[in-house]
Structure 1
Amino acid sequence: MHVPDGFINAPVSVATGAVAAVAVAVSLRGARRELAGAVQGGTGAGAERTAPLAGLVAAFIFAVQMLNFPVAAGTSGHLLGGALAAILVGPYTGVLCVSVVLLMQGVLFADGGLTALGVNISDMAIVTTVVAYAVFRGLVKVLPRKRRSVTVASFVAALMSVPAAAVAFTALYALGGTTDVPIGKVFTAMVGVHVLIGLGEAAITALTVGAVIAVRPDLVYGARGLAKPLELRTSPLDVPAPAPAADEVTTAARETGPAASAPAAPAPRRSVRRVWLAGLAAALLCAGGISYYASASPDGLEKVAHDQGIDAKTEAHASKDSPLADYSVKDIGNARLAGGLAGVIGVGATLAVGTGVFVVLRRRRTAEAAGAAGAVGTAGASGERV
């Protein structure tokens, strides 16, 4: 659903650019909190690994978007990714993930107009993420608190996010379309084909979320708080001992010394390296190999635009002469090699940019927390001197 230059007029493009800029700024602040609290309660080395994980999600979305799948005669679809990103890493971080993907696609691969970048971010990053996460949270609250419920909610949320994006595009076209096409026809065609595309989006999202939950549910933002801690018992007849009264705890501490009242050792941190490597391998496989077998049919927006005449005033992309334009490396005669290499480069570039953004956000959050702790410590020391 990448909107090219020329579909939407300049005033509406500028307005959506402003909306996108505000949304990205808000997401930058919100993502700090999400990245800080995703692993190990937001402290220690575990939290530092959340930035690479978020960067990996962006790279994975880029890769899977290259896999166009047929949905009807002469029409294909591809992942939008808003639902997947929001559920895996949080809604604010999800907006940033999809925005990074759209930026890389527009600048390096001439996919999605540069003047239409605000339109694409508003439609594909903001609308899909907000709608999907709202539906997901609503379903998780009413479904049984099980891992399977997260997968089911992911499917439904992703399914609904794609037609929502189609409706949003239709609204933008009604405000600033550059050709005189009946909006009713655009609405019917866009929603109809994108309901079918939504089924593919839902399947990809549910399978991916389900796979991550199966091995590391603690890494899925949308699954926080659903898993109950395990309780070890020596016999089926055993029951948890009642908590001791406060005076009993005080007496025990006096009799046995400081060791008895020391807090329990924290649970050991679990490495995310295997998950990160597996995700990167999957992204490289999709972009570098499987993408060669993707459907060559136009996607939903391209098909509707051609059939309804929306594309009458399409403008040439500013990056049409890029060495990676159309997801193929120039001057390489072998189509499989040219496309696969372009996909690998895209995954690497998206991973680098996405991880860089999230590392900076994570470090700023850490610095803010350290500054706040220092201020509290200074205030406490001053009070003791008084």
Structure 2
Amino acid sequence: MHVPDGFIDAPVSAAAGVVAAGAVAVSLRGARRELDERTAPLAGLVAAFIFAVQMLNFPVAAGTSGHLLGGALAAILVGPYTGVLCVTVVLLMQGILFADGGLTALGVNVLDMGIVTTVVAYALFRGLLGVLPRTRRSVTVASFVAALVSVPAAACAFTLIYWIGGTTDIPIGKVFTAMVGVHVLIGIGEAVITALTVGAVIAVRPDLVHGARGLTSSLKLRVDGELVDAPAPQPAAPAAAARSHRGIWAAGLVTALVLAGFVSYYASADPDGLEKVAADQGIDKKTEEHAAKDSPLADYGVKDVSDARLSGGLAGVIGVGATVVVGSGVFYVVRRRRTPDAPTDNTREKESV
């Protein structure tokens, strides 16, 4: 759903940029409470993983494909504020290095793909957890539903932005019907990817999933026919915990590299939902060339590498590497700037128990 240059006029693009910049500034402050020594490295990895999975377009209808947006996944894994920053980093890397998503439309893309998806998904996710049983399975179910809804919500947001500042005169009802219709189907893919990823992390390290904190009920033991709370497990030694964190990080990075460097070759070549709707409805009549069209990595290929498999694979690996480096650097700085006595969200939860 990357909006290129020329879809939205300059005043509305500028206004969207101002709103997006304000939301990112708020997210930078909020992320200081969400990030700690465990989750800051994970946040950089989440950004790289989203970049990799966004390269895997999957078919959703005749001649149309979709890909992960990632707002729901990021918000549930590392928190809503950090989630907005994760998707923003991905969009910056894609726009600057790979000519994917217009530079003048960057504010529109951050607002639509980063902020709307994250806010809608996390609000729905927390609402569902408020009524579902307090179990890990509930987290996975809520992740599925939140991700599913977040994609058509982003389609609605784009339609609204286009209604205000679209550069072509297309009946807004047709745009709305086409956008929501195809993105409901894409949302199913988003939901499956999000639920599988969240479920996999919960199965290994539930303490690293922001959305699962405070939901795990104490283990029960049957003693003389009665259920009693089992003693709380002792926390792992710092060295063992550090090794565990490094193991999760390394496994996630290898997965992202394999997806972007190898699996992406087999992704659907059909246009994604927005591209298909734009072509069918005539939204793309005034599309402008990307300012970075001559980038050596434009269109997710390495310039002067003729083999398509090798070119795309190298571009994917470079993209994952650049995203994890930039993302990790951003989140390291954000965590370091947190006031020493300011509690993290995890600390607040512990103190409230």
TM-score (norm 2): 0.92
Q: Is the 8 A contact 2:220 2:228 kept in 1?
A: no
Cα gap change, 1:370 to 1:158, in 2 (>3 Å): closer
Match of 1:145 among 113, 117, 134: 134
The answer on 1:353 being equivalent to 2:322 is no
SS state of the match for residue 71, structure 1? Answer: strand
The answer on 1:83 being equivalent to 2:72 is yes
Counterpart in the other structure of 1:279: 252
Match of 1:217 among 206, 212, 218: 206
Report the alpha carbon displacement of residue 278 of structure 1 after superposing the two structures with TM. 1.1
| Structure 1 ranges of 4+ moved more than 4 A | 237-241, 264-267
CA distance in 2, matches of 1:240, 1:146: 18
Q: Deviations over 1:324-363 (max 9, x none)?
A: 0000001001100000000000000000000000000111
CA distance in 1, matches of 2:224, 2:130: 31
Match of 1:369 among 335, 340, 344: 340
Counterpart in the other structure of 2:349: none
The answer on 1:108 being equivalent to 2:77 is no
* Alignment map for 1:10-89 (pairs within 5 Å): 10-36=10-36, 48-89=37-78
Report the alpha carbon displacement of residue 228 of structure 1 after superposing the two structures with TM. 2.4
CA distance in 2, matches of 1:186, 1:63: 29
Q: Is the 8 A contact 2:33 2:342 kept in 1?
A: no
**Identity across the alignment (%):** 79
Q: How many pairs align?
A: 336
Cα gap change, 1:239 to 1:191, in 2 (>3 Å): closer
Q: Structure 1: which 5+ runs fail to align?
A: 37-47, 242-263, 373-386
Report the alpha carbon displacement of residue 281 of structure 1 after superposing the two structures with TM. 1.0
Match of 2:153 among 146, 164, 182: 164
Report the alpha carbon displacement of residue 69 of structure 1 after superposing the two structures with TM. 0.2
CA distance in 2, matches of 1:266, 1:52: 20
Report the alpha carbon displacement of residue 275 of structure 1 after superposing the two structures with TM. 1.1
Match of 2:268 among 295, 298, 307: 295
Larger Rg: 1
Q: Structure 2: which 5+ runs fail to align?
A: 344-353
Read off the aligned partner of 2:245 and give its amino acid letter: V
Cα gap change, 1:306 to 1:272, in 2 (>3 Å): same
CA distance in 2, matches of 1:29, 1:65: 27
Cα gap change, 1:82 to 1:240, in 2 (>3 Å): closer
Report the alpha carbon displacement of residue 273 of structure 1 after superposing the two structures with TM. 1.4
Match of 1:340 among 288, 307, 313: 313
The answer on 1:98 being equivalent to 2:126 is no
Cα gap change, 1:160 to 1:356, in 2 (>3 Å): same
Q: Is the 8 A contact 2:221 2:228 kept in 1?
A: no
SS state of the match for residue 228, structure 1? Answer: coil
Cα gap change, 1:175 to 1:227, in 2 (>3 Å): same
Q: Is the 8 A contact 2:220 2:227 kept in 1?
A: no
Q: Is the 8 A contact 2:2 2:109 kept in 1?
A: yes
